[in-house]
């Protein structure tokens, strides 16, 4: 169930303690990141395959490296005991 | 143990078990592999989902910008773990070194990390809590259920408790145009975490955002109709709020019941551990094979008088996970303490709120930049002549500067005259925290005294 995925996605989390609201990400990957008010950042926690490229640009451009994305594919790891 | 190869053996073929498959559990598993751990790793989680991120659940998800089932945490590296999901750990045998599972299984460990976090405190009246339309918000399932109900366009949402989560929920509802009432026992929203001076700003933000904010009141009863749907709430001031969605945001309870009777220093205030995340047993002796991290842990912090701090903060879970993973695999001389200055963020009513240090420990506050009126400011918190914390409203870029003041135990009021000069002078005022013996909703930082065996609870629900 939950560990199986059909659609390839990139999972995203932003360390908002680090984020300084510079908005580079919102500029480079507007489908994923948006400023909310003056300083707060809203993002889509899972980006689609076609957003991968702009997402990578945003990750690289963030001056405080606050954007965390999948470094590996969804685990093909052993699951037992579940359901 | 030193030099006898035990640590090398642990690193090569040991068994490490992590209980709690969320932020702290996942980050610890990744850190263990980063540290070169090559043995077997088992992660046990009672939720059926792979590790997911909670902060979006009260923000993006309720705003309709993301769906609850899609906030899984990014994987920063492969962890090659056995995931036992959908099954709770139900007991711990410290002498035998094994974790018992609810399905009857037993999982032996050489090192154990406990990262079972907290859960939402439910509405205390069980029958009322079960009414259709009454929600809490902690898990992705909670968030999915609430988001679905908000999509259906309720008549009015009542949020009980104006801590961070309650306030964020109210904000999201208002942004979606839904009528919202917030009932808070304290004098203002966020008062337990940030004090009354800043709480007053939060109250203004809510009212200006169209929230029907009622402070200094308690909800005394929830009423349902014949079909079991919630219809109204009675308040302690005699008034009634008609509502079809109630979100109970009364803070959280630590998930330590499964450890009862195990001999570990675990209770309603969390799991007591040393600054290196090693858990104490109930005799006050530190264990060498059991660690705790994240919302469930409480650790002494050198910068805050060695008080045991229990922090319900994302950054704390990430930092402690790394510390615990490192220390598990290290000789005592190579262990590192958890010394991070606490920090968190919240976004509500279009304002970005960030905080460093432990504001709730303070007695005084000084607005050093911006102004309360403009809702763009930095407030510095003082305690016994020291800078102990800071909060920013839409001024987050300045916080690293204040963090340094906290780290260097700078004097309060701070030595600089002003950061931006304004008329009105710079005088500290009473930070106006509520009486600590009167519980508020969701302070997110709990100072929990010194005794690792402390099993007292402080929260007495309304009524
Ligand atoms: C709605 C919401 C919004 C938030 N927003 C912010 C924010 O803006 N900023 C911020 O700094 N922090 C925020 N937080 C707090 C942050 O999410 C937590 O600090 C973080 O999730 C803590 O991670 P954890 O792994 O320690 O615990 P948890 O995330 O609570 O995970 C513990 C896991 O252990 C499981 N578990 C419990 N008991 C057992 C058992 N016996 N056996 C097996 N598994 C068990 C639980 O089900 C859970 O999956 C928010 C939290 C919520 C709920
Ligand atoms: S680029 Fe980085 S710092 Fe700037 S808003 Fe995005 S995440 Fe925050």
What pLDDT, in 10s, does the model give residues B432-455?
A: 988 765 555 445 555 555 444 444
Question: Residue B400 is encoded by which pair of tokens?
Answer: 């690293």
Quick one: which H or E segment has residue A40? strand A40-43
pLDDT (tens digit per residue) in B246-258: 999 999 999 999 9
pLDDT of the residue at B303: 87
What local confidence, expressed as pLDDT, does residue B233 receive? 98
pLDDT mean over B262-281: 95
A80: chain B residues, CB-CB within 8 Å: 82-84
The ligand placed nearest to the CA atom of residue B311 is 1
Q: Give the pLDDT confidence score for residue A22 in this predicted structure.
A: 87
Distance in angstroms (rounded) separating the CA atoms of residues B61 and B52: 13
Q: What angle do CA B270, B56, B362 make, to 5 degrees?
A: 50
A45 contacts B70? CB cut-off 8 A = yes
pLDDT class of B288 with cuts at 50, 70, 90:
very high
CA atoms within 13 A on the CB side of B93: 12
Nearest CA to ligand 2 atom 6: A25
Average pLDDT for B165-188: 97
- Which residues from B are below 8 Å from A12, CB to CB? 74
Mean pLDDT of B83-102: 98
| Interval B225-239: pLDDT, tens | 999 999 999 999 999
Q: What is the mean pLDDT of residues B124-133?
A: 97
Q: What is the pLDDT of residue B421?
A: 55
pLDDT at B455: 46
Average pLDDT over residues B303-307: 86
pLDDT digits (tens, 9 = 90+) for B59-91: 999 999 999 999 999 999 999 999 999 999 999
B353 Cα to the center of ligand 2, angstroms = 15
- Mean of per-residue pLDDT scores for chain B: 92
Share of chain B above pLDDT 70, in %: 91
Paired with B242 in beta bridges are B232
d(Cα B35, Cα B33) in Å, to the nearest integer? 5
CA-to-CA distance for B198 and B193, rounded, in angstroms? 9
Rounded Cα–Cα distance for residues B24 and B31 (Å): 10
Closest ligand (CA of A24): 2
Smallest Cα distance from A15 to chain B, Å: 8
Give the per-residue pLDDT at B454: 46
Instruction: Measure the CA–CA gap between B303 and B327, rounded to whole angstroms.
Output: 20
Residue predicted with more confidence, B5 or A3: B5
Q: Give residue B1 CA to ligand 1 midpoint distance, Å.
A: 35
Residues with CB under 6 Å of ligand 1 are: B 19-25, 44-47, 54-55, 57-58, 88-89, 115-118, 137-138, 165, 255, 258, 294-295, 312-315, 317, 344-346
Query: So what's the ipTM on this one?
Result: 0.90
Does any CB of chain A come closer than 8 Å to the CB of residue B59? yes
Residue B302 has pLDDT above 90, yes or no: no
pLDDT at B438: 54
pLDDT at B457: 40
Torsion angle of the four alpha carbons B251, B253, B255, B261, in this order, in degrees rounded to the nearest 10: 170
pLDDT above 70: residue B97: yes
* Mean pLDDT value of segment B392-409: 95
| Strands of the sheet with B278-280, listed across from one edge | B82-85, B40-45, B15-19, B111-114, B286-292, B278-280
Higher pLDDT, B35 or B433: B35
Amino acid B416: pLDDT:
72
The tens digit of pLDDT for each residue in A21-58 reads 989 999 999 999 999 999 999 999 999 889 999 999 99
Decide if B50 and A3 are in contact by the 8 Å CB cutoff. yes
B272 and B453 in contact (C-beta within 8 Å)? yes
What is the reported pLDDT for B415?
A: 77
- The answer to whether the Cβ–Cβ distance between B73 and A13 falls below 8 Å is yes
Burial class (CB in 10 A: 0-12, 13-18, 19+), B133: buried
- Return d(Cα B379, Cα B364) in angstroms, integer: 10
Taking the centre of ligand 1 as the mean of its atom positions, its distance from the CA of residue B442, in whole angstroms, is 14
Has residue B420 got a pLDDT over 80? no
């Amino acid at each position: 169930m939950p560990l199986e995925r059909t659609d390839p996605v990139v999972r995203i989390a932003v360390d908002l303690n680090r984020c300084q609201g510079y908005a580079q990400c919102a500029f480079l990957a507007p489908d994923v990141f948006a400023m909310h008010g003056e300083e707060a950042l809203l993002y889509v926690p899972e980006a689609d395959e076609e957003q991968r490229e702009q997402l990578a640009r945003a990750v690289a451009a963030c001056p405080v490296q606050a954007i965390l994305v999948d470094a590996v594919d969804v685990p093909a790891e052993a699951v037992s005991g579940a359901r | 143990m030193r030099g006898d190869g035990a640590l090398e053996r642990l690193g090569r073929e040991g068994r490490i078990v992590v209980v709690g498959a969320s932020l702290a559990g996942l980050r610890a598993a990744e850190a263990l592999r980063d540290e070169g751990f090559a043995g077997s790793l088992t992660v046990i989680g009672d939720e059926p989902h792979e590790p997911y991120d909670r902060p979006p659940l009260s923000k993006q998800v309720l705003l309709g910008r993301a769906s609850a089932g899609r906030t899984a945490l990014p994987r920063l590296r492969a962890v090659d773990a056995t995931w036992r999901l959908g099954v709770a750990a139900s007991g711990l045998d410290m002498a035998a070194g094994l974790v018992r599972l609810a399905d009857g299984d037993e999982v032996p460990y050489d090192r154990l990390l406990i990262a079972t976090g907290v859960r939402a405190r439910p509405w205390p009246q069980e029958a009322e809590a079960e009414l259709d339309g009454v929600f809490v918000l902690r898990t992705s399932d909670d968030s999915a259920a609430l988001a679905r109900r908000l999509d259906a366009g309720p008549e009015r949402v009542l949020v009980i408790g104006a801590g961070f989560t309650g306030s964020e929920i109210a904000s999201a509802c208002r942004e979606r145009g839904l009528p919202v009432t917030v009932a808070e026992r304290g004098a203002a929203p966020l008062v337990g975490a940030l004090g009354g001076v800043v709480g007053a700003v939060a109250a203004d933000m809510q009212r200006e955002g169209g929230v029907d904010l009622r402070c200094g009141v308690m909800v005394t009863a929830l009423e349902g109709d014949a079909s079991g749907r919630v219809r109204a709430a009675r308040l302690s001031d005699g008034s009634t709020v008609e509502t079809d969605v109630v979100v109970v945001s009364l803070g959280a309870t630590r998930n330590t019941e499964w450890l009862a009777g195990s001999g570990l220093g675990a209770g309603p205030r969390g799991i007591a551990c040393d600054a290196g995340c090693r858990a104490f047993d109930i005799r006050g002796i530190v264990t060498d094979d059991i660690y705790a991290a994240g919302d469930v842990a409480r650790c002494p912090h050198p910068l805050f008088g060695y008080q045991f701090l229990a922090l319900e903060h994302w950054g704390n879970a990430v930092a402690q996970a790394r510390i615990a993973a490192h220390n598990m695999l290290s000789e005592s001389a190579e262990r590192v303490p958890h010394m991070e200055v606490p920090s968190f963020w919240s976004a509500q009513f279009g304002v970005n709120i960030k905080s460093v240090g432990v504001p709730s420990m303070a007695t005084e506050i000084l607005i050093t930049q911006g102004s309360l009126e403009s809702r763009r400011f930095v407030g510095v918190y003082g305690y016994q002549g020291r800078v102990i914390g800071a909060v920013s409203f839409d001024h987050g870029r300045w916080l690293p500067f204040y963090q340094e003041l906290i780290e260097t135990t700078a004097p309060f009021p701070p030595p600089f005259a002003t950061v931006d000069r304004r008329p009105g002078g710079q005088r500290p005022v009473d930070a106006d925290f509520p009486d600590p013996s009167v519980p508020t909703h969701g302070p997110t930082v709990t100072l929990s005294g010194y005794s690792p065996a402390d099993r007292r609870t402080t929260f007495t629900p309304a009524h």
